[in-house]
Structure 1
Amino acid sequence: MRLLHTSDWQIGKVFRFADDDILPVLQQERLEAIGRIGRLARAQGAECVVVAGDIYDHLRPSERTLRQPVERMRQFPDLRWHLIPGNHDFNERDGLWERLARTGLPDHIVPHLAHAPAALDAAGTAWLLPAGLGHRHVIGDPTAWMDGAATPEGAIRVGLAHGSVRSFGEEAPGHNLLAIDRARQAGLSYLALGDWHGAQRIDARTWYSGTPEVDGFDLGGAGGGQALLVTLDGPRAEPVVESHAVGRFRWARAQAVLTCADDIAALEGRLRAIDPDDPSRVLVWLAVSGALGLSELEGWQARIVDGLGSALRLLRIDGAPGLAPSSDDLDAFGPGGAVRAAAETLARQAGEGDEAARAIAAAALQRLYLLARDGAGGMA
């Protein structure tokens, strides 16, 4: 049989760094990824999609947010979608899973809220062993029950769980930790995991799918934006796992020390190369240091802050190049006179004192430079 493994959709996720323009775009793309998953499963001949928890980002989504992923899955009635609760959307009493049930889910969308085997195909040759979470933090291994779970002799056994085979991120040691060799202990053909947001192989039969739409700068190159196509030829055959890209956005961290115009050009080229065909798919968190002359600062503003800031989906900048005016910069103010004297004073102030005073002096000097360069006010 073939199945598609995905997890950590986190519908309704709030990106706290995002402004009112970009937040709805990022949230909408997480929904659009469901359609891409469905089309991929259909094109590759998968019989079902298993979703290893965290379908939602929080426990009390609005009615619209609650229904949105269901409506995306409804468009693929030829696929069965098997869902379990994760730590973000755990199965609490009178919670979102009971709300979902009251909406009247289509037959092909199947939440698994109990730790009990369920047939994956009509013939009963493949069985799902779901281990959803009933609390945000579970003490003990939620997959331990799989070892003794009864399925027909010779059946393919697929585990579906949400947790960590090692301590990831904010989870404290002992919370939602899974045995790293659970697939072997429980005789599983495949163990589909959620929680870690990058696709990751633990062993031949145990994989994290990662989130289908990257949601953090630190995951830009760590396997996010994937779904896993899994082919199971029999209960003891080693699964064939193929990673398929389903995400739209590309996230990256970058650093730059800027000292000259060539550094600015190199930085621009490096960031545009992330996706030269469609820079609007790119989000960058850029850390900048160094110092530039007045003309180079103008280039920094035009090429990076304004230029790339308009081309990329997001350009988040930490820091800024300092000001180190050259003699050529000061010559733009003429050989002498009051304007030249004011420029020299501002240049000196931009290099001394506290950070706020330096920034004010640098901004004033840059403004004076632009006016002098353009010949405003008869200062040339």
Structure 2
Amino acid sequence: MPRFLHTADWQIGRQYGSLPPDNAVPLAQARYAAVERLAQLATAQQVDAVLVAGDVFDAQTVSDRCIRQLFNALAAHAGPWILLPGNHDAALTESVWTRALRLAAVPPNVHLALSPQQLDFADRGFVVLPAPLTQRHTYSDLTAWFDTAETEPGRVRIGLAHGSVQGVLAEQIDSANPIAPDRPERARLDYLAMGDWHGCKAIQPRLWYSGTPETDRFKANDSGRALLVDVAHAGAEPQVTVLETGQFRWTSLEATLQVASDLDGLLDRLAALTARDVVDLSVSGPIDLAGHQRLQAALGRAEAQARHLAADLGGLRLDPTDEDLAGLHADGYLGEVIDELRETRRAGGEAAGVAQDALMLLTAALAARQGTADAPALPAGAAA
């Protein structure tokens, strides 16, 4: 009974240019660590082969050191690795793959599927039909040749491809590198291992995307996984087990503050962040001065706890309480103006909104001028 580890979209050499270097470098290194974990899993699970369905490298221009590091990361598993070129690392005439071969970096147990030719593992009872990309974008289905490929009777037939299964993924994804959704039936495949979609997704029992083994974006798509695939015999439906492989958790948080408990809940979530978390936070809604100070203090602590935290507070609206205003100790003419604005706000009516906006500006300006800890910034476009 052949057993496989299906993975894809390693994108080794990826850079996170939008993040600070202190955070970007560990995230880039985590991609090598993910491959090392896959090698350990492959050995522990005694798989017959590791199927890597494209985008092993993030670009053709990765460094020689990057290439060597990647193949070194495979060392923990001595069995067959089958690596397929994807759209990021297509098998061009001159490519990252030809460089790897010139560097003599490819171990004997690693099979580069650089052309559409079957790879027969007779001693293990299976054959792999690969559909490598030889350019970044194609508009014909490169798996079509599987249909007429003749293999030895009794061999488990495994397809390996990188692209977009048509009519299944989001409409904007159904463009280049199309794959027919019924290819397993047409080509008598026992399993079709797919790459390109970075989340783990079952299209049908014989056709799966494994997703990337290390999450690399904030989109919630079940990434950070690999698939353990068992095929009892040729023609049997594969048994697929999802394995968690990711180190970092990428989370996009949107918090709208309406009542006091909303802020308490947000602070609890920030306190729970760990070194595994990569967070993009957006906060909106009204907040008083004391709440703003609590939020800023919590963000400072969370930034030190998390691997990365980016906070967009542009949607916050400072809503000072009477206690906030009194605590600023404004006197003289400015104190009189504040008292008048407070009365206007209490009275309601059309002028109440203008008074509220004016109090927001004054509170922010006074807090900054008096050196209040974690003083809120002025709203965008406002002048002190």
TM-score by length of 1: 0.87
Distance 2:361 2:149 in 1: 69
Distance 1:121 1:171 in 2: 40
Per the alignment, do residues 341 and 309 of structure 1 end up closer, same or farther by CA in structure 2, a change over 3 Å counting?
Answer: farther
Q: CA deviation at 1:83?
A: 0.3
Query: Contact between 2:39 and 2:75, CA under 8 Å: does it hold in 1?
Result: no
Query: Contact between 2:139 and 2:177, CA under 8 Å: does it hold in 1?
Result: yes
Q: CA deviation at 1:16?
A: 3.3
Per the alignment, do residues 246 and 121 of structure 1 end up closer, same or farther by CA in structure 2, a change over 3 Å counting?
Answer: farther
Per the alignment, do residues 309 and 343 of structure 1 end up closer, same or farther by CA in structure 2, a change over 3 Å counting?
Answer: farther
Select which of 299, 304, 309 maps to 1:310: 304
Query: Contact between 1:346 and 1:364, CA under 8 Å: does it hold in 2?
Result: no
Per the alignment, do residues 299 and 245 of structure 1 end up closer, same or farther by CA in structure 2, a change over 3 Å counting?
Answer: same
Q: CA deviation at 1:53?
A: 0.2
Tell me what 1:188 maps to.
189
**Unpaired segments ≥5 residues, structure 2:** 346-352, 374-384
Query: Is 1:88 matched up with 2:83?
Result: no
Root-mean-square deviation (Å): 2.8
**Structure 2 counterpart SS, 1:116:** coil
Q: CA deviation at 1:336?
A: 4.3
Query: Contact between 1:343 and 1:368, CA under 8 Å: does it hold in 2?
Result: no
Q: CA deviation at 1:286?
A: 1.4
Per the alignment, do residues 344 and 128 of structure 1 end up closer, same or farther by CA in structure 2, a change over 3 Å counting?
Answer: farther
Tell me what 1:329 maps to.
324
Distance 2:241 2:156 in 1: 19
Tell me what 2:201 maps to.
200
Distance 1:155 1:136 in 2: 31
Per the alignment, do residues 134 and 352 of structure 1 end up closer, same or farther by CA in structure 2, a change over 3 Å counting?
Answer: farther
Distance 2:338 2:121 in 1: 76
Deviations 1:109-128 (A, max 9, x none): 110111111123525x2101
Query: Contact between 1:330 and 1:344, CA under 8 Å: does it hold in 2?
Result: no
Distance 1:213 1:359 in 2: 43
Aligned pairs, number: 360
Per the alignment, do residues 331 and 193 of structure 1 end up closer, same or farther by CA in structure 2, a change over 3 Å counting?
Answer: same
Q: CA deviation at 1:170?
A: 9.7
Amino acid across the alignment from 2:232: D
Per the alignment, do residues 43 and 343 of structure 1 end up closer, same or farther by CA in structure 2, a change over 3 Å counting?
Answer: farther
Tell me what 2:292 maps to.
297
Tell me what 1:376 maps to.
none
Distance 1:95 1:171 in 2: 28
Query: Is 1:113 matched up with 2:114?
Result: yes
Q: CA deviation at 1:75?
A: 3.5
Distance 1:218 1:270 in 2: 19
Per the alignment, do residues 60 and 359 of structure 1 end up closer, same or farther by CA in structure 2, a change over 3 Å counting?
Answer: farther
Amino acid across the alignment from 1:263: D
Amino acid across the alignment from 2:217: G
Tell me what 1:9 maps to.
10
Query: Contact between 2:249 and 2:276, CA under 8 Å: does it hold in 1?
Result: yes
Amino acid across the alignment from 2:254: Q
Tell me what 1:280 maps to.
275
Distance 1:110 1:175 in 2: 26
Per the alignment, do residues 352 and 248 of structure 1 end up closer, same or farther by CA in structure 2, a change over 3 Å counting?
Answer: farther
Amino acid across the alignment from 2:16: F
**Structure 1 counterpart SS, 2:21:** coil
Query: Contact between 1:254 and 1:285, CA under 8 Å: does it hold in 2?
Result: yes
**Structure 2 counterpart SS, 1:315:** strand
Tell me what 1:45 maps to.
46
**Structure 1 counterpart SS, 2:180:** coil
Tell me what 2:377 maps to.
none
**Any residues of structure 2 matched to 1:32-181 within 5 Å, and which?**
32-76=33-77, 78-104=78-104, 105-122=106-123, 125-166=125-166, 173-181=174-182
